[in-house]
């Protein structure tokens, strides 16, 4: 079930909100437990909507996290300070379980196909469907047990609360990767208010607009260009297609994150931000501080720092960076293009860290920005094509080695039909609208809060629903990750 679907907007969401806010009336003494039960059960329904079989897998992951968390917590008891084998074993059990799940469901067929190609064998792939959201909830349960083991957070002894954290539908299938340490207190003590609910509605409508109005439209353009025959293409059209994909993946994913954060606020949760206008970056280092923040920080805290970070010399730091970025690419999918993409950014980040950033800072801002955007777009050009042949052909086309003209009539058609869409995408990729809203909020606070914001939300919601009703193209890219 997609957030950007009429089933969710007019069926699932009203039902869960109604039941959630009825709980304090029906169960005054245990209202929070009752509300968490509602969230947990509705989250199971949400997940089971597309994959009813895999709901048992997620429940098993919750159970494993619950018991390994309790055992790992023993390191924090004074009488067990000298015995760390049991808790360490519990933590390693969680590591093996979660990484084993990912490797089995996400990468088994990739390894089989690679062996078949390299060795000429005919091992039959499993053909298993990838459980939706497994990359996200595996990282969440894993970080929970590790944090308990390290003493950063107390273990959760109420399995319902832990289950609510793992299965919470706003962030279940596409993130952001919400760490237990950030919401532990909120699971038991959180404040719902009209103001917070209104803020959540506003954030949800913004995310819905990003997804439906912009991401779907530029996604259709990329889909059209990427499926065009070679004789219909041009060098410029190849760039237009990848630029369209660059906007699609940003508005698709950041829009979904906005909707998740907005839904969280409706239920009293505060999730951390996942995007901070990444396309205004002046370097790739800055870009990765602004893009998919929850994933970058996860790899930093649970991979890069445990490997030694920058504490063991320059050579070891470079190795650690490349390990992190290979794993980052590997996390995104079981295809060589994702690993190429991870290594691509890892190499650029190494170059920037060692000398390139110093040179960039001496350049004009516009040069820095063009440099960053160019490398970002090329990176998405690698990311977009899982088929290696199509990937290499598109890169050849982009750089003039595909035997294509620079421009043709189809290029003019695509550009003329989508010029306004690209302008909208560019503007919405920057903080301009947010700054304009902040300016109005300071100058005319009452007008802004009581008239402009509600009007914006109604307009965004109405237009988005109209787009959904009139267009069947509504993919979500991160479902496959």
Catalytic center residues: 332
Q: How many angstroms separate the CA atoms of 96 and 289, rounded?
A: 29
Q: How many angstroms separate the CA atoms of 63 and 58, rounded?
A: 9
Q: What is the signed CA dihedral for 44, 47, 49, 54, rounded to 10 degrees?
A: -100
Q: What is 404-463 written as a DSSP string?
A: --S--HHHHHHHHHHHHHHHHHHHHTSSHHHHHHHHHHHHSHHHIIIIIHHHHHHHHHHH
Residues with Cβ < 8 Å from 182, sequence gap 6 or more?
A: 271, 272
User: What would the two tokens of residue 452 be?
Assistant: 């402009």
User: What would the two tokens of residue 285 be?
Assistant: 């280092």
User: What would the two tokens of residue 397 be?
Assistant: 């086309």
Instruction: Give the SS3 label for residue 241.
Output: helix
Q: How many angstroms separate the CA atoms of 225 and 404, rounded?
A: 14
Find out whether 380 and 245 touch, Cβ atoms under 8 Å: yes
Scanning the structure block, which residue is given the tokens 């089995």? 104
User: What would the two tokens of residue 350 be?
Assistant: 């190494």
Of the chain, the end-to-end C-alpha distance in Å amounts to 16
Scanning the structure block, which residue is given the tokens 């219909």? 232
Find out whether 88 and 74 touch, Cβ atoms under 8 Å: no
Q: How many angstroms separate the CA atoms of 327 and 298, rounded?
A: 12
Q: How many angstroms separate the CA atoms of 72 and 275, rounded?
A: 33
Q: How many angstroms separate the CA atoms of 459 and 386, rounded?
A: 37
Find out whether 234 and 299 touch, Cβ atoms under 8 Å: no
Find out whether 149 and 245 touch, Cβ atoms under 8 Å: no
Q: How many angstroms separate the CA atoms of 407 and 235, rounded?
A: 7
Give the H/E segment covering residue 68: helix 55-72
Find out whether 39 and 161 touch, Cβ atoms under 8 Å: no
């Amino acid at each position: 079930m997609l957030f950007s679907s009429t089933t969710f907007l007019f069926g699932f969401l009203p039902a869960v909100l109604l039941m959630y806010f009825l709980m304090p009336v029906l169960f005054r003494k245990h209202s929070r437990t009752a509300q968490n039960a509602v969230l947990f059960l509705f989250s199971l329904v949400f997940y089971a909507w597309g994959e009813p079989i895999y709901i048992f897998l997620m429940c098993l992951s919750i159970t494993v996290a619950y018991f390994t968390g309790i055992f790992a917590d023993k390191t924090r008891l004074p009488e067990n300070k000298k015995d760390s084998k049991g808790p360490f074993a519990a933590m390693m059990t969680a590591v093996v379980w979660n990484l084993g799940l990912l490797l089995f469901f996400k990468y088994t067929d990739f390894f089989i196909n690679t062996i078949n190609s390299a060795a000429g064998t005919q091992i039959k792939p499993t053909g298993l469907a990838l459980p939706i959201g497994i990359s996200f909830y595996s990282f969440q349960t894993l970080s929970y047990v590790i944090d308990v083991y390290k003493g950063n957070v107390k273990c959760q002894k109420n399995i319902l609360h832990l289950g609510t954290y793992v299965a919470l539908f706003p962030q279940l299938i596409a993130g952001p990767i919400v760490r237990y340490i950030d919401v532990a207190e909120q699971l038991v003590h959180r404040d719902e208010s009209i103001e917070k609910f209104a803020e959540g509605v506003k954030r949800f409508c913004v995310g819905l607009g990003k997804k439906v109005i912009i991401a779907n439209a530029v996604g259709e353009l990329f889909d059209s260009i990427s499926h065009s025959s070679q004789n219909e293409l041009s060098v410029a059209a190849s760039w237009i297609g990848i630029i369209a994909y660059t906007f699609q993946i940003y508005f698709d994913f950041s829009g979904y994150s906005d909707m998740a954060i907005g839904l969280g606020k409706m239920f009293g949760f505060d999730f951390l931000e996942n995007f901070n206008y990444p396309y205004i970056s002046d370097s790739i280092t800055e870009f990765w501080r602004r893009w998919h923040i929850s994933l970058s920080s996860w790899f930093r805290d649970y991979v890069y720092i445990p490997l030694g970070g920058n504490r063991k010399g320059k050579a070891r730091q470079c190795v650690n960076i490349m390990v992190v970025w290979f794993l980052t690419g590997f996390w995104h999918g079981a295809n060589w293009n994702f690993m190429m993409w991870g290594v691509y950014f890892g190499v650029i980040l190494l170059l920037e860290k060692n000398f390139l950033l110093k040179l960039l800072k001496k350049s004009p801002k516009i040069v820095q920005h063009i440099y960053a955007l160019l490398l970002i777009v090329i990176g998405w050009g690698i990311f977009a094509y899982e088929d290696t042949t199509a990937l290499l052909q598109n890169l050849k086309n982009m750089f003039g080695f595909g035997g294509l003209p620079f421009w043709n009539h189809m290029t003019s058609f695509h550009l003329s039909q989508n010029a306004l869409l690209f302008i909208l995408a560019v503007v919405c990729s920057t903080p301009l609208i947010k700054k304009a809203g902040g300016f109005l909020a300071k100058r005319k606070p009452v007008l802004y809060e009581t008239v402009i914001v509600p009007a914006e939300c109604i307009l965004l919601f109405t237009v988005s629903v109209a787009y959904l009703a009139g267009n069947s193209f509504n993919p979500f890219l991160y479902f496959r990750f």
